[in-house]
Structure 1
C-alpha cells in the first residue's frame, strides 16, 4: 500500500506538489533535511513539522512541530508526539499548507493499472504459431513481406514504440504473485492499536491506574521509561527525607525512634538509592520486608514526624506565653523578694529584669522550652499515633 500526499492549498501561491511513501516513513517540513520539503515563506511551517511512520501495513502521522497539525473539516488537532492512523481522503493543515492523503494499492495510480513502457508483449502474441496463417493475415490487411512501404511502416512503428519509453523503464517485468489488497479504513485507530499490543501494557496500565488506550507501542515504551525515572526520584527523595528527620531529632535532642521499624527497611538501611531500589525490586539480596510494606512504613514515619512537630511547636509557644504571664511573674517575684517592695510600677519592672536575667544565667530559655514543653509534647504525640499502627512482625 502506497501513501500519496498532495498539496491542495499552499496558501502562498506556490505550485502544488505531491509525495509518495511506499512502505516507508519520512519527515515533512520546510527544512532541507526533510524527506518532503515544502517551501513556506511565512515560516508558519516548522522545519520538521510532521512524521510519517509505517507499521503493519498502515501509515501513521505524528505531530512533531511547534505550531501543531489540524484536521480539515473538524476542530480536531493531532496530539503532539502521538501517532494517528492515516485514512483515505484525510486533509491535514500544516501551517498555511493543506495536504490530502490518498492510499493507493501497489501497481495502481488514480484507479488505473500502471504499465511500464509502450512495448509490452500482447497476451495473444504466441497464439498464432503457423507462419502460413500469419502470411495470409498480412495479405488480407494489404501488406506483403517484400513491400518496401510495409517495411518502412514497421520500422517506424518499432522506433516509435522504443523512443517514447524511458531508459530506466525499458526492461522486462518479472511476474510475481499479487498480494491481497486490504483497504480497511479504521475510524478508531486508538482501539486497533490497543488491541494489537501485548497484554503487558494492559497490566501496566492497571497497576499505574492510568488508561493507555490512546497510545501506541512506541509511546507506551516512552511512558514506561518516564515512570521508572519518577520512581527512582521518589525513592531518592524519600530516603533524603528520612535522613533529614533523623538529623533533626538528634539536633533537638528528641531521641525518638520507632524500634519496630528501625531496621529491616531498605529505605533506611541502604546507604544509596541504587541498592535500595535493588532490594525493593528483589534484584539483590531480598529483605525481610515486602517493598509495599517498606514504602508504606517510611511514609507513615514522615507523617508522624510532621504531626508531632506541629503539636510540639504549639506546646512550646504556649509555654513561652505562660512563662511571661503577669500572674506567673508575680508569683516568681514573691518567691524572690518581700511583697512590700512591689508597690510601684518601677519596682515591678526592676523585679522583671532580675527575673529575666536569672532565667538567662541559669539556662537559656529556648533550651528550657525545648527540653520541657517541646520534647514532651513531641514524644507524647508520637506515642499516641504509633499505637494506632501495628508493627510489622519481621
Structure 2
C-alpha cells in the first residue's frame, strides 16, 4: 500500500526540493537534515534535524514524533501521541509545513471505518452476518409463509422485520395505530412507556384449552419499572453548582437550567483543552532546557490533564471512568494550575541567573582585570582573552553559546523547582 505526503500550503521549497514524497510498504524519516528521506528546510529551526519517523508494520504506516517542537495532526493544539497510525486524509503540521496524507487503494484493516469514510455509510452486519441473516435487519427476499400457532388473532403473516419492540409494534398494527416514526425503530422504549399487558389482544381461547396450559389462570405479573436515580430537580442542581462555585445558591435562579448546563459544559471543555495545552507546553520547555525534573507517570496520583492525548480522554477519566491511579477532577485542575504558576516563576528566575552566569566573565571589567599591565597593546590582548573565553565555553557544542545558556538555565530551573517543593 503506497503512501504519499504532499505539502499543501506552498508550491515549492526554499531549496527547490520536492513538495511531495512517496513510499511503498517501507519506513522513512523526515526532518531538516539533508541525509533524511525527506528533507524539509527551515531556517527558523521549527523543524527538528530529525523531526519524525514513519514505520510500516501491521499493514499500516505508524508515525513517531521525536521532535522538539512537536508534530500535530488534523488541527489539534496538542502534539500527536506516538505511535500514531496515519489515515487517508490526515493533515500533519510539521513546523510551518501543512502536509496531507494519501493512502492508495487500501481500506482500513479489520473493517474499521477510516476517518475519511462517510459517517452515514451503512454499518456492517453484526458479528459478520449477512444483512439478511440479522434478526434486526430486513430479509433479503420474502420468506416462505409459515404457520405460526403463537400468532395473535387477525395478524397476517408477513415478512416484516422483527425489532426490539415486537410486541408493541404488533399491538399498534392490530389497533390500526400508525407505524412508528423512522427514528423510533432505533430507540428502545423504556419499560414505563410500554402499554400494560391487558391492553394487548387476549390470548386465543384455543390456546387456553391446551392440555397442561395454565396461561389463563396464572398471568405473568406486570414488570415494575426501576425507580429513577435520585439527584434532585434541575433547579436544585444549579443551586449546588452555585454553592460549589462560591456563589449564593439562588445566583442562577430564573435561568433556564438546560442553557446553563450547556454553558458550563462548554466552559469545562475549553478549560480542559487550554489547560492541557499549557501543561504540554511546560513539558516541551523542560525538554528543550534538558531539565532533569520531568513529570513521569507513576502508580498513583497521576494527572489526566498531563498524560492523555486529548481533552475528551481527560474528561472521561476525571468525570466518567474514575480510572485507578488518577486524581479526580478538582485535584487535577488544582495541581495543574499550581504547576503552571511554579513553571512561570522558575522560568524567569532561571533565565535571569543563567544570563548572569553566562556573561559574568565576558564583561569589560572582567577582561581588563585579566589583561593587567605590561602589554604593548592592551586592546589586542583583551580581544585575545575574549576569544579564548568564548571558545572555551562553546567548543564541542552543536549550537554554541545557546547550548551554554540552556545548560545554566536547566540547572537553575531545577534548583527553583526544588525550593518550591
State the TM-score, normalizing by the size of structure 2. 0.39
Write 1 or 2 for the structure with the bigger share of helix.
1
State the TM-score, normalizing by the size of structure 1. 0.41
Which has the greater radius of gyration? 1
